[in-house]
């Protein structure tokens, strides 16, 4: 045997044959390093390492994936950017908080300006204001009727505990104009039996006049027919007195205390509408309405008597206010202020009424009827004093 190994039949050595087999095994061993030591196969000798194979494909190669999510783009990435974003958001929150505080302050200011009785928060009556507003003072307030009508009127917050609402006023603009323009509490359509109830304003929902002109024109606001009251108060105020002086100038001020209105629907509208209608030929002196005792806030029985027509004095009892009183000719008068009338000549003292007085018609027709029967303000016979004739009578509810 030669050092090169046994010969084959074609004269090649066994080592040569083994070398010929190496290329067939190399594809499975490309990952093996050239310096790797191979263990000899049983019965064979290890050949020389073959040449290195071609380089394989980079394992990092592959198909490109989709784009990743974008950042906010506002600030740099990482912790500094996150801090900056949080600071920005905190600034936004502080700005919004500041705006909310300003809005709340504005609303609180509005609330201060919407006290009960203001134009934006009207009350139902002056008594409601008195009961719910500490220290409420005399003056003008806004009220709202159940129908939603907002109106301004005067509230007296001091007499007998206060809470009195001015609802109407009777004023004679021309004692010589008999049931003409201005006689809203009797008739503006003349003395006639065609309208036996006159204008009917004692028992309807008409309104007229204003609180500021109540001493030179008639007044009737929604409170007259909408307020639920118990008592009335009357002021006698000289004509043309400015609003700011109504109370101080009133030479007679008196009120009821027995809650009589609750028996008749809670206001004068209901009293006349449903219990004591004012209509010509609707009754006699025997059918006169209730005479309610009064309490004087200013004035007296004696002062009241001193102002009326001298001929009426034997027919009256001072210290009352009476409603729906007929004269001897069956003509109704609405109110006898400060007295109860016991005779048949109520037209010489009482006020308001219907549209027809048969005695020397139309001489008795009008809001102040026959108060100047024996001359204007002469204070003789059946004529009242000039002060009585030239004063408005204001009505309040509580």
- Number of other CB atoms surrounding residue 82 within 10 Å: 13
Q: Is the dihedral of CA 280, 222, 369, 326 positive or negative?
A: positive
The residue that leads in pLDDT, 199 or 79, is 199
Residues 6+ apart with CB under 8 A from 216: 171, 173, 239, 240, 392
pLDDT on residue 213: 98
Whether the pLDDT of residue 316 is over 90: the answer is: yes
Whether the pLDDT of residue 19 is over 70: the answer is: no
Per the CB < 8 A criterion, the answer to whether 297 and 247 are in contact is no
Separation CA 243–CA 213 (nearest Å) = 8
pLDDT on residue 66: 72
pLDDT on residue 14: 40
Express each pLDDT in 205-232 by its tens digit.
999 999 999 999 999 999 999 999 999 9
Average pLDDT taken over every residue of the chain: 86
Separation CA 278–CA 354 (nearest Å) = 6
Prior bond to 362 cis, omega within 30?
Answer: yes
pLDDT on residue 108: 59
Whether the pLDDT of residue 7 is over 60: the answer is: no
What letter does residue 273 receive in the DSSP assignment?
Answer: I
Count helices and strands in the chain by DSSP H and E runs = 8, 14
Q: Give the residues across from 237 on adjacent strands.
A: 392
What average pLDDT score do residues 238-266 get? 99
Which pLDDT band, with edges at 50, 70 and 90, does 56 fall under? low
- Number of other CB atoms surrounding residue 281 within 10 Å: 15
Domain residue extents for the chain = 126-397
Output the pTM of the full model: 0.73
Q: Per 3-state DSSP, what percentage of the chain is helix, strand, and coil (rounded to 5)?
A: 30, 20, 50
Separation CA 387–CA 195 (nearest Å) = 31
pLDDT on residue 89: 83
SS3 (DSSP) at 385: strand
Q: Which residues of 148-164 are buried (b: 16+ CB within 10 A; e: fewer)?
A: eeebebbbbbebeebbb
Least confident residue range of 64-68, 142-146, 238-242, 307-311: 64-68
pLDDT on residue 396: 99
The residue that leads in pLDDT, 127 or 41, is 127
* Rounded alpha-carbon distances, angstroms, from residue 87 to 29, 79, 97, 183: 62, 12, 15, 77
Express each pLDDT in 115-127 by its tens digit.
999 999 999 999 9
Which pLDDT band, with edges at 50, 70 and 90, does 81 fall under? confident
Percentage of the chain exceeding pLDDT 70 = 79
Express each pLDDT in 323-381 by its tens digit.
999 999 999 999 999 999 999 999 999 999 999 989 988 999 999 999 999 999 999 99
Which pLDDT band, with edges at 50, 70 and 90, does 65 fall under? low
């Amino acid at each position: 045997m030669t050092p090169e190994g046994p010969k084959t039949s074609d004269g090649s050595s066994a080592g040569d044959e083994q070398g010929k087999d190496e290329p067939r095994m190399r594809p499975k061993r490309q990952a093996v390093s050239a310096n790797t030591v191979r263990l000899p196969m049983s019965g064979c000798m290890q050949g020389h390492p073959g040449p290195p194979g071609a380089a394989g494909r980079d394992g990092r190669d592959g198909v490109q994936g989709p784009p990743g999510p974008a950042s906010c783009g506002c600030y740099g990435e990482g912790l500094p950017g996150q801090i900056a974003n949080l600071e920005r958001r905190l600034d936004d929150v502080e700005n919004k908080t500041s705006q909310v505080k300003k809005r709340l302050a504005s609303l609180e200011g509005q609330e201060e300006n919407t006290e009960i009785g203001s134009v934006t928060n009207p009350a139902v009556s002056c008594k409601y204001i008195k009961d719910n507003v500490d220290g409420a003072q005399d003056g003008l307030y806004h009220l709202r009727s159940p129908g939603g009508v907002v109106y301004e009127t005067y509230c007296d917050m001091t007499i007998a505990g206060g809470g009195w609402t001015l609802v109407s006023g009777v004023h004679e603009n021309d004692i010589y104009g008999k049931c003409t323009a201005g006689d809203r509490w009797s008739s503006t359509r003349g003395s006639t039996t065609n309208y036996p109830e006159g204008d009917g304003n004692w028992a309807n929902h008409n309104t007229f006049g204003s609180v500021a002109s109540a001493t030179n024109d008639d007044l009737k606001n929604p409170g007259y027919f909408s307020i639920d009251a118990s008592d009335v108060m009357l002021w006698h105020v000289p004509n043309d007195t400015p609003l700011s002086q109504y109370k101080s100038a009133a030479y007679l001020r008196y009120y009821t205390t027995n809650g009589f209105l609750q028996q008749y629907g809670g206001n004068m509208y209901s009293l006349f509408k449903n219990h004591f209608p004012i209509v010509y030929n609707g009754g006699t002196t025997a059918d006169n309405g209730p005479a309610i005792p009064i309490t004087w806030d200013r004035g007296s029985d004696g002062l009241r008597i001193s102002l009326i027509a001298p001929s009426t004095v034997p027919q009256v009892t001072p210290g009352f206010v009476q409603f729906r009183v007929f004269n001897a000719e069956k003509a109704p008068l609405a109110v006898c202020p400060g007295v109860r009338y016991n005779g048949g000549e109520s037209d010489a003292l009482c006020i308001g009424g219907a549209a027809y007085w048969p005695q020397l018609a139309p001489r008795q027709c009008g809001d102040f009827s026959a108060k100047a029967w024996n001359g204007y303000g002469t204070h003789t016979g059946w004529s009242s004093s000039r002060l009585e004739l030239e004063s408005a009578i204001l009505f309040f509810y509580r």
